[in-house]
Amino acid sequence: MKCPICSDENLVMADRQGIEIDYCPKCRGVWLDRGELDKIIERSGQTAAPAQPRQDSREPSRQSGDYGYRKKKKGGLLGELFDF
C-alpha cells in the first residue's frame, strides 16, 4: 500500500505485540487498521501506573537529592509500539 502523504513511498508493516502497524519510513506517518487503535488503548490502560502528584517544577526539591534533574522516563507500551 502507498503512503497517503508521500504517495510514492510504500508503507512498511511491523508487528508489535500482536498489533499490525503500517508506517511510512519517509514521513514516519503511522496508520492502523480497524480495531488496532482499540487494542492499543486497551493495553495501555492495563499497564498505566496511577498518576503521582506533581511538584512545582520551578522550585527543585533538595530533599530528594535530584536538584532539578529529571530522570529519563521508562518506555511504556506506546513507546515500544511506535519505536521504529
Residue 28: burial class (beta carbons within 10 Å; 0-12, 13-18, 19+): exposed
Per residue in 26-76, pLDDT tens?
Answer: 999 999 888 998 888 888 777 655 666 666 656 555 555 556 656 655 566
Tell me the CATH number of domain 1-48+75-84, given options 3.30.70.260, 3.30.2010.10, 3.10.20.860, 3.40.50.150: 3.10.20.860
Residue 12: what pLDDT?
94
Residue 18: what pLDDT?
86
Helix (H, G, I), strand (E, B), or coil: what is residue 20? strand
Residue 19: what pLDDT?
87
Residue 17: what pLDDT?
83
Q: Which long-range contacts (CB under 8 A, 24 or more apart) does 9-16 make?
A: 14/84, 16/80, 16/81, 16/82
